[in-house]
A and B are shown apart, each in its own frame.
Chain A
Amino acid sequence: MLEIKKLKKIFNRGGINQVTAIHSLSAFIRNGDFVTVIGSNGAGKSTLLNLIAGTYLPDSGELLLAGENATRWPEHRRAAYVGRVFQNPLLGTCATMSVEENFALASRRGLRPGFRWGVTNSQRELFREKLKLLGLGLEYRLKDKVGLLSGGQRQSLTLLMATLRRPRLLLLDEHTAALDPKTAEQVLNLTRELIQEMGLTALMVTHNMKHALELGNRLIMMHQGRVILDVDGPTKAHLTIQDLLNEFSKLKGQDLTDDKMLLI
């Protein structure tokens, strides 16, 4: 589904603050893989996701989406393949527009907008049904501005919107990090259900090792722009938090005390 070949991304090239965020990274994500990605701050997880989505273009390397060379595609072109949920709950929806208008935009992800009516009655029915799944009562608030909703509600909406039109690849960038624990759990359960039911291929970045172990069939650990661990299947299923910590300290060879990665 997604093939990454020797991808490299350097920020502030030539400046004092030059940082190589991704070092010649190669990976192959199979169809149906649900990959959780962990790593400390600055490991390059978000950069990787932004490179896949096209927010950044790489300095070198190739990126193949569903067999097509998408390395130079702009963000809006890749959207035909990629559904996305951001860490910031405000980033995935338009605050000044209604719930149904946001949904209607998402229902045409990757399609050229035309002169037809923005929201149709048949769409409204569909949106209502989808929103019922959330159990937040949003099916009665189709006309409400999204800005009136809470962060958790908006993030749930974004997740539904990203999967409204089946994405070939779903990118989740720490999408529960900015939510309170209870809401985060709800959004995570919704994530699990949607990916399972629709059989989606997904990449989920998380700081939470427990979540990284519980969800998905494959786990990738990143450090300083490189993949330092890539396990799947039964190996992944038997992995424990202690294993991850050992792996991490072994490869890093540094103390972990000041690291956010220890958030469990």
Chain B
Amino acid sequence: MSLYILVGAVEQGLVYALMVLGVYLTFRVLDFPDLTVDGSLPLGAAVSGALIVRGMDPFLSLLLAMCAGAAAGCVTALLATRLRIMSLLASIITMTALYSINIRIMGRPNLTLLNQPTVLDALSFIGLPRYLLTPLIFLGIIIGCKVLLDLFLHTQLGTALRATGDNPQMIRSQGVNTDMMVILGVSLSNALVALAGGLVAQSQGFADVGMGIGTIVAGLASVILGESLVGAQTVFRQTLNAICGSLLYRLTIAVALSYRVGFLRLTPSDLNLITAVLVVICLTVPLLRTRLVMWKRAQGD
């Protein structure tokens, strides 16, 4: 694997870590399986891209992309809480609707941003070569978001949010409206995902309606990989693990794509298959481990 591929994988791991934080927030903190992310990632890219093309400041476009993501999350949460649609189904409905909406926003299925100003151009005065600058900027953003999220999850509102995922009956009887907490959490999650989408579009130079396919599985794989790292007791560790999981996931993918296995050479289009297999392995390792222990014990007797 070349240095170029390695740096590229780190860059992707860092920018998609924002999305992984969002997935961590819904899947782990809120216990709300949310597939909206497959739609809100390209939504962020579409909003940011369409606004830049129309001459908006790239930073401001990212802010509006986050607002759009939050709105998408809000729709899913409203479908789930107010209309009592199962959370998984509610998010699939929003995701499907977003496909059409994203094409509407861009005016066509994809949008190039080449020769358009991006946040990376705006920060190029630092003077580093691009292949180093981009990951460093992404690192700064992800650390900033992690710290803010950690702080938020320790406020009164944040603890109420965590309690909603842990024990809704308990927190309702403490006077917290759990529906509001779900709306808040899912919106926040999708704002992060849309921010990731916007940044991906700006760094890759294009937004595409299909770029969100498989996002949720990649996010989940990253969260689970992160959890396999030691110590997931505190919120600080959990968010750190989510980021490390994202890096680990992208590196694994890069390695898998750069080697030839016998006659088989994997291509980027095999990514979703690899991800699916990776998730299954991650999920079954604990089971296999206990089976192995039992088997060894049986052998010993």
| Interface set of A (CB-CB < 8 Å, partner B) | 53, 55, 74-77, 79-80, 82, 84, 86, 90-97, 101, 104-106, 108-111, 113-119, 145
CA distance A78 to B162 in the complex (A): 21
B172 adjacent to A105 (CB under 8 Å): no
A53 adjacent to B155 (CB under 8 Å): no
B281 at the interface (CB under 8 A from A): no
B166 adjacent to A79 (CB under 8 Å): no
CA distance A111 to B176 in the complex (A): 8
Interface footprint category on B: 20 to 34
- Tell me the chain B residues, 116-171 only, with Cβ under 8 Å from chain A: 154-160, 162-163, 166-167, 169-171
B269 at the interface (CB under 8 A from A): no
Return the chain B residue nearest A95 by Cβ.
Answer: B166
B22 to chain A minimum Cβ distance, whole angstroms, is 19
B155 adjacent to A115 (CB under 8 Å): yes
A113 adjacent to B170 (CB under 8 Å): no
A253 to chain B minimum Cβ distance, whole angstroms, is 37
CA distance A55 to B168 in the complex (A): 12
A105 adjacent to B155 (CB under 8 Å): no
A113-B159, A116-B156 known, 16 other contacts, Cβ within 8 Å: A55-B169, A77-B175, A79-B175, A79-B176, A91-B170, A94-B170, A95-B166, A97-B159, A104-B156, A105-B176, A113-B155, A113-B156, A117-B154, A118-B155, A118-B158, A119-B159
A94 adjacent to B171 (CB under 8 Å): yes
9 A-B pairs closest in CB distance = A79-B175, A110-B175, A113-B156, A118-B159, A94-B166, A113-B160, A113-B157, A84-B173, A76-B177
A92 adjacent to B155 (CB under 8 Å): no
Q: Assuming A95-B166, A97-B163, A145-B233, is B155 touching A114 (CB within 8 A)? A: yes
B155 adjacent to A96 (CB under 8 Å): no
Residues on A with C-beta less than 8 A from B174 are 79, 105-106, 108-110
Q: Assuming A115-B155, A116-B155, A145-B233, is B162 touching A79 (CB within 8 A)? A: no
Residues on B with C-beta less than 8 A from A113 are 155-157, 159-160, 176
A119 to chain B minimum Cβ distance, whole angstroms, is 8
* 18 contacting pairs across A/B (C-beta < 8 A): A55-B169, A74-B177, A79-B175, A79-B176, A80-B175, A94-B167, A94-B170, A96-B166, A105-B163, A105-B176, A108-B175, A111-B175, A113-B155, A113-B176, A115-B157, A117-B154, A117-B155, A117-B156
CA distance A109 to B171 in the complex (A): 9
Max chain A Cβ within 10 angstroms of own Cβ: one of B155, B156, B177: B156
A105 adjacent to B167 (CB under 8 Å): no
Return the chain A residue nearest B29 by Cβ.
Answer: A96
CA distance A82 to B173 in the complex (A): 8
B159 adjacent to A105 (CB under 8 Å): yes
B160 adjacent to A53 (CB under 8 Å): no
Return the chain A residue nearest B159 by Cβ.
Answer: A118
CA distance A241 to B169 in the complex (A): 35
Max chain A Cβ within 10 angstroms of own Cβ: one of B155, B157, B159, B160: B159
Residues on B with C-beta less than 8 A from A111 are 175
CA distance A119 to B159 in the complex (A): 9
A190 to chain B minimum Cβ distance, whole angstroms, is 19
A145 to chain B minimum Cβ distance, whole angstroms, is 7
A94 adjacent to B175 (CB under 8 Å): no
Residues on A with C-beta less than 8 A from B178 are 76
Residues on A with C-beta less than 8 A from B175 are 76-77, 79-80, 108-111
Residues on A with C-beta less than 8 A from B171 are 94, 105
Residues on A with C-beta less than 8 A from B155 are 113-118
CA distance A96 to B159 in the complex (A): 11
CA distance A119 to B162 in the complex (A): 14
A29 to chain B minimum Cβ distance, whole angstroms, is 19
A141 to chain B minimum Cβ distance, whole angstroms, is 14
Return the chain B residue nearest A107 by Cβ.
Answer: B174
Q: Assuming A94-B167, A97-B163, A145-B233, is B158 touching A79 (CB within 8 A)? A: no
A101 to chain B minimum Cβ distance, whole angstroms, is 5
